[in-house]
Structure 1
């Protein structure tokens, strides 16, 4: 029996949760994830939250569907315009991913290595700063991981019995997620319980579905077909704004996608912006803001390298 089945069967004799209760529980989970993290000198139980928080809060970055924007393109002769929808961007990004993805099968005793570049500039002017964050995360959570965030490094203890994070670190759990873009949102909605593929996702469930989908996309390495499925599933989520004229850190032209949630949700004011190449729609990275010490910083981040390695501090 696998771990997701165990989770689904936990307290199986209890009456099922209503849609309203599910919504309240998910909202409280998001609030807990948004709570301030402890300093690096805190106890191990607090230290272990930072990687989860880093991955989880990025989930407000992207989603959805019918909104369009007129994008000016220079063909070398004269500019022309083309109407581009979020669905087109995300589905083309999925096709790009499928054409380039390299199937891997990491062992439980290995580590996922990531090298993330983060560039920050104070709002209103000031000196920019670049961080190079290298991390080694245990594939199955049974070993200590070594992670870096904005230059701060720390050891993260192994997963505790019953501990759950999103997205899962265990490769066996990721492999169980469906790679069909129509089934993936339902499987994520029904993480605790058997997926009911006969019941469509409701309006109040979509914000949290995009939260889980976007969290998956923050995972550096995924089983074959899962990342493109997540892109395509995001293309079905209501509530997206397409932002033309975006660029990556190198100045390459891009198109931004930002999720705007319904009033009363944590995403009502919008979230981070995913940036895609203006021509190929290949994913380039993320633009965001953060506040610290009374200052606000514009932030650009992207994963430069990801790989599977045998030990901490080993680089591909």
Structure 2
């Protein structure tokens, strides 16, 4: 049994993990993809939700025809996953502003998560606010599906994904061709002369899509992430999607190799159908014998001076 299967079987209705513990789980995913699984038993831990949006795209992905409400009759256009993701990169470059947080500051995140039981039942909305230390040296405060707790400072040598430390984010290349190579070799010196091979992409797309969960990134990194995702095979475009606020959009769905947790394509990124601005993610969660449909998006992200301060 591999690491991904173990993660899926952990008790999903237990209290959620802190960012620190979830970071260890993500790091173990990386290690499991690099080396054969160890024969030693793995301790079971509660897991509410892994905060990694698993999405990808390909220049040869399925295309769809999207209607544009610009006249009578409406015009249509053919859209591919690469078109959507590159459009999202262009929109992000138009809107993003450079920031330079100090080590003593915190990254504030406000994430909205709406859940509805599959098969019927009342919906519930969570407003999760978190404050993460910029350099990892101070206590952080995390919220996930309404469960809040303090997160201790990072230990020496500790790594997480997406990186919590701003200095680690700044080390990532903003060249969309180099970024997948750097993520393939996280923790090592990237060999930019060696291209990404087919069996590298599943791990690379996990790290790429994980970056989209970060509320604030160095200038140029989020656009590069969208463009890099446009090179990952295994997606299709889904028209007629809506985000958590009911806004109309177009979806990018990753379909992983058979036998992997992503083979069912449960996770979908939603983009504005006209501007391609990223709106949020649709996903599923299993807990207490039930399956919940989730819609989530980051409502706010900023740099603040202290925990509990809002922008």
- Give the TM-score normalised by structure 2: 0.85
Deviation at 1:293, TM superposition (A): 1.5
Task: Find the partner of 2:132 among 122, 133, 137.
Answer: 137
1:272 to 267, 273, 290: 267
Number of residues paired by the alignment?
287
Matches of 1:284 and 1:192 in 2, distance apart?
31
Task: Find the aligned partners of 1:119 and 1:41 in 2 and give their Cα distance.
Answer: 16
Tell me if the contact between 1:33 and 1:57 (Cα under 8 Å) persists in the aligned partners.
no
The Cα of 1:63 is off from its aligned counterpart by 3.3
CA contact (8 A) 1:59 1:210 kept: no
**CA contact 2:129–2:143 (8 Å) conserved in 1:** yes
2:166 maps to which residue? 171
Offset, 1:162: 2.2
Change (3 A) 1:264 1:294: closer
- Aligned 1:194-273 pairs, distance under 5 A: 194-273=189-268
Name the one with the larger helix percent: 1
- Cα distance between partner residues in 2 of 1:204 and 1:104: 35
Residue from 21, 43, 54 that aligns with 1:49: 21
Contact 1:62–1:272 (8 Å) recurs in 2: no
Of stretches 49-58 and 100-109 in structure 1, the one that deviates more from structure 2 is: 49-58
Change (3 A) 1:33 1:49: farther
Match of 1:11 in 2: none
Partners of 1:78 and 1:52 lie apart in 2 by 54
Question: 2:65 is matched with which residue?
Answer: 70
Q: For the residues of structure 2 that align with 1:151 and 1:41, how far apart are their CA atoms?
A: 9
Hey, what's the Cα distance between the residues in 1 that align with 2:16 and 2:230?
Answer: 41
Please report how far the alpha carbon of residue 118 of structure 1 lies from its aligned counterpart in structure 2 after TM superposition. Answer: 0.9
Q: d(CA) in 1 for partners of 2:225 and 2:67?
A: 28
- Matches of 1:212 and 1:227 in 2, distance apart? 12
By how many angstroms is 1:250 displaced?
A: 3.0
Which one of 276, 298, 305 corresponds to residue 281 of structure 1?
276
CA distance in 2, matches of 1:106, 1:278: 33
5 Å matches for 1:62-141? 62-67=56-61, 68-141=63-136
Deviation at 1:260, TM superposition (A): 0.9
From the superposition, tell whether residues 58 and 221 of structure 1 become closer, same or farther in structure 2 (CA, over 3 Å): same
1-structure distance, mates of 2:218, 2:16: 35
Question: Where does residue 154 of structure 2 map in the other structure?
Answer: 159
Corresponding residue number in structure 1 for 2:28: none
Residue 236 to residue 125, structure 1, CA distance change in 2 (3 Å)? same
Distance 2:297 2:288 in 1: 24
The residue matched to 1:288 in structure 2 has which SS? strand
Whether contact under 8 Å (1:65, 1:239) holds in the other structure is no
Cα–Cα, structure 1 residues 282 and 212, in superposed 2: closer, same or farther, change >3 Å?
A: same
